[in-house]
Chains A and B, each alone.
Chain A
Amino acid sequence: MEIKLKNVGYTYHLNSPMAFTALKNITLTFPAHQLTAIIGKTGSGKSTLIKLLNGLEIPTSGEVVIGNQVIDKYTKSKQLNLVRKNVGMVFQFSENQLFSETVLKDVMFGPLNFGKSEQEAVELAKFWLAKVGIDKDLFEQAPFELSGGQMRRVALAGVLACEPKVLVLDEPGVGLDYVSNQNLMSLLKKLQSQFGLTIIMVTHSMENVAEFADHVVVMKNGAIVRQTKPIELFSTDDSKVELPEAAQFYLKLMKNHQIENELPINKTELINRLLKQFKPNGGTHE
């Protein structure tokens, strides 16, 4: 499912002394079945933008088109439930939202709210818990007894069990160690191809963008500065964005060595490039 924003603006506390414009006239398309990353500094409007994508906030000007449903400032809150069914949202530190007595019940909460029967909800919950890699033995445990990484997976399953067509994630990997982050990101990538999910994620990790995103949107002061493919964003150093570590490393190398000046954006590419350039016999090595 595709999401389009047309001239969208958002102002907090409209008509008050605390009025604050978070988004200015944004026009943007999130293509279907792709993984789009949104990057930008704290306060650039990323979080506000994603709240518009599932009707948690209503734009104060312009319109958000989700599939064939249009949300603008006249939209009534009743109509938003369908939007929320189609667009699932995983919040930052999502492990903190678990509340039920057991893991299984927590995952069933969403489907039950969206009108599934008890039986269907159990099946959905079991299916998605398995997909995110939670062991059957843990289904009847209290969620508070799991590890942080496991709790985050349970929270993800809780959203997936509502069967959304679009999945929005706010910093999915924040606070996880390197391996857990890689596993989570590969899982998302797998879900994207297996179920045709459209994924939109806010992140501060340029490595995640370079390695996993199909599409990247750069935000600054409530506006879109660039939207392109990660390889185009990171392959030259125009100092507008922070580069992934692989590219930064290569850039330092370029200062002292005569090597190809297109930057590799992730680790695999970096290794391949180095192997090619620094062959023990010959190559460009002086």
Chain B
Amino acid sequence: MLRKSKAYRISILALFIAIIIVQNFVPLFGYIPAGPLSLTTIHITVIIAAILLGPVDGGIVGGVWGILSFIRAFTAPTSPVQPLVFTNPIISILPRILIGVVAGYLFIGLTKTKLKPAISLAITAIFGSLTNAFLVLGMIAMFYRTPAVAHAYGVSDPSLIIKVLMTAVGTNSIPEMILAAVVVPIICLPLLKHSKIK
């Protein structure tokens, strides 16, 4: 069967990586500017890759996004925070790999339960998004309470960074999570129906 072949796996992995690259470079598509941070839609690509191809390939696709954010922070920043924070590979690359890994294993686990596929997909999407949000924002809170970062976020004192990050959870992470929970089932359901994975 075509969808089980290695040729299909290679093709779809390559095309997902191409989507990630396009999302990084086409303006107003992968990153939607919103205040000091920008909302992203790229985690959706990683989550879908993890659901369809498993945790390893999900991790690879996430890793490509991470490497691009890392390079981007040096050469094509979209917000003042990026050059300060994302030049650290632990913040720019690791959380993105983990989105794919977490979403991949979670979905495999959920397929063994009796949940409806649409629900499993939405849960996977929510936890995939949260992995990214908690790791990125959490690490900024832990390692980057510096004046420069505070100012890039538009506050005067490093102690206020935590507050800003909590706001970011509300203004960015939650919309990103809802977006993923809506989009992932729309895209994956027809495919899962065809390939009879339940």
Contacts and interface: CB of A to CB of B under 8 A. Distances in A.
A and B held together in a complex: yes
B190 A101 contact: no
Interface string A80-120: 00000000000000000001010000000000000000000
Contacts of A145: 190
A101 B184 CA distance: 12
Interface residues of B, number: 3
A36 B122 CA distance: 47
B34 interface: no
A276 B53 CA distance: 66
Contacts of A144: 190
Contacts of B28: none
A260 B190 CA distance: 58
Chief secondary structure at chain A's binding surface: loop
B18 interface: no
A259 interface: no
Contacts of B186: 99, 101
A144 B186 CA distance: 10
Nearest to B189: A142
A266 B186 CA distance: 45
Interface string B169-198: 000000000000000001001100000000
A77 B186 CA distance: 32
A98 to B, nearest CB: 11
A144 B190 CA distance: 8
B198 to A, nearest CB: 18
Nearest to B185: A101
Nearest to A100: B186
Nearest to A144: B190
Contacts of B189: 142
Contacts of A99: 186
B179 to A, nearest CB: 13
Interface string A136-159: 000000101100000000000000
Contacts of B190: 142, 144-145
Contacts of A142: 189-190
Interface string A235-274: 0000000000000000000000000000000000000000
A99 B190 CA distance: 12
A125 to B, nearest CB: 19
Nearest to B182: A101
Contacts of A101: 186
B163 to A, nearest CB: 36
B109 to A, nearest CB: 26
A101 B121 CA distance: 15
Interface string A38-52: 000000000000000
Nearest to B190: A144
A142 to B, nearest CB: 7
A13 to B, nearest CB: 16
A101 B189 CA distance: 11
B181 to A, nearest CB: 13
B153 to A, nearest CB: 30
Interface string B25-51: 000000000000000000000000000
A60 to B, nearest CB: 21
Nearest to A99: B186
A272 B3 CA distance: 53
B23 to A, nearest CB: 16
Interface of B: 186, 189-190
6 contacts: A99-B186, A101-B186, A142-B189, A142-B190, A144-B190, A145-B190
Interface of A: 99, 101, 142, 144-145
Enumerate the 6 nearest inter-chain pairs by beta-carbon distance, A residue then B residue, closest first. Answer: A144-B190, A101-B186, A142-B190, A145-B190, A99-B186, A142-B189
